Structure 1
């Protein structure tokens, strides 16, 4: 695949002087190899396929984040020509380098400030990292929800989410690899484990065995660092994920969503959901104007 001279312009994407655009797209063969005059972060949220970048090609799969600088030609391709059979779904967060000027005054850490300067001045080359703890995916979910369903103060909130994304990526590329594994970092690993395996049969006994801490000590750490018991923390994590699924997948039944977040009994799921959210799953979904094919 030869590099293309086609360049996508930010003028097509940016509105209301925000200079930030978020979308979620199922990749196909319609878009050709292209470059653009803006910065792009692309996150693979579902499926697998290939990413072509200049003269290189890489396997693309869920959990990968790609940084595509200004002027670099690239394109995603699914594994199959049938998107229903083997979809490749990607979140895109694109913005102008000048947008970072507005974020600079709130950056208090010199290394991070230097990193953002390099990003703004287009001195950082293409790279790809893996989202090992779902932290990037969670931010993209929030970015897309806020961009698609704007509320009062949405532009400001989107910029705070972008800043959170930049800091999180910086940590994954630098700090978290180098930090010593102290006790707070060990407990953070437990939280990351829950966010990755919330749909599994996770118990305090399992965490105790996996991370070699007593159940009693773990329960104390949950109270100290989350303000919740382990059981309540797991419930809230599952319900948070179910809220995202209810909006993003209107074709999914309540029963299917319950199973995907770790509940085999729909009545139990609905009861926990109503206690935490204040509405039944069906009413929550209806609040966003989503009409599912089966509830």
Structure 2
């Protein structure tokens, strides 16, 4: 058996082994002697950062395939170049050098892909944890007659998006946007201030976060108007976990506050203009929007 044939068989073996294992797992899961007792029609309320949790699961699956590719593709590239060069009148040493170069190139590409996955996963996990931290702080409002909805899915003219948190109760509706961002390493660069018009970060001035939460609040107001014939004020709030936040004036269009002080400011800042009936209708509609997590989404 030639060297090329030996390498070919070495490549086929892990492919057959891995494919057989995946097929066995799929067969076993579909041949369970029992069935789900809860039914497929049960829909759970979305948890904080639900879309980030799903995205993390997707990225983990892609990372698994990238690791699998790291084990197979370099050998495949080596064999492919070695096989192609057998038809060319080149020296054996040149063939081996070209094959090794192809192998190293594939390894470098797969490494870059894996590093990209790890970087994205780190950002997703940070964002997801920030959502959970804010949700825990907002939970204190439940004892005071408020309902809290998380990760409410929406569809607008620019596509799909989510409302991180919505607080409903005692005559108000507040959309809360969470921005969990890493701090610079420099000392003293842990502050973000709000003048009522823009945010001042250590790296510069920005209105993008404010525009986003204002647009989200406006979307929810239009959603109530369209589906409930209810024209109410939806307030906007922004919180930045882990940063020292210097909030704006009381008349500012967006409440910007630290996550630890956010619940208290929500209680005190906004005028209560909704009746109890309007508040209940808004709550029921948000419950409908945010209850879409089935059993399949949890697997």
Q: 1 or 2 for the larger relative contact order (CA 8 Å, sep ≥6)?
A: 2
Judge same fold: TM > 0.5, yes or no.
Answer: no
TM-score range, shorter chain: under 0.3
User: How does the TM-score come out when normalised to structure 2?
Assistant: 0.24
User: How does the TM-score come out when normalised to structure 1?
Assistant: 0.24
Larger Rg over CA atoms: 2
Give the helix-richer structure, 1 or 2: 2
